Structure 1
Amino acid sequence: MEVYNAMRHFADSWGLLAMALFFIGAIFFTLRPGSKKIADEAANIPLKDE
């Protein structure tokens, strides 16, 4: 039971902080300047003829 409480405390505090930072980083990575060109190129990969 002691391990469960320790893991629950960790998930409630540091785990939540880590998930929030990851979410903010993912949003920033997606909306950063210059990402539109890269996303458009990736979206057109299936449509390219070899």
Structure 2
Amino acid sequence: MQDYTVLRELAGSIGTVFLVLSFAGFVLFALRPGSRGVHRDTADIPFRHDDRPAADADAQAAHAREPRQ
């Protein structure tokens, strides 16, 4: 029974370290210098048609891309 307890605690520790390192990796990936343009473009999506309404063709194309339920 002693071996099971040691292995269980070791697995929990390794899992915690893995999750912390994964989280840090995801944050660093999102904040890397090369991704600034992608994030800026994504943030501007709601404001793309501020100066004029979207054309009917654009609205139909966007509607066609939506997943059907």
Same fold (TM over 0.5): yes
RMSD of Structure 2 on Structure 1 (CA): 1.6
State the identity as a percent.
Answer: 33
Structure number having the greater helix percentage: 1
Partner Cα distance (2:46, 2:15) in 1: 37
Shift of 1:23: 1.4
Residue 42 (structure 1) aligned with residue 42 (structure 2) = yes
Task: Spell out, residue by residue over 1:1-50, the C-alpha distance to the aligned partner (whole angstroms, 9 max, x if none).
Answer: xxxx64xx333x12211211111111211121211110000000011113
The whole-number CA distance in structure 2 between the counterparts of 1:15 and 1:41 is 36
Unaligned runs of 5+ in 1: none
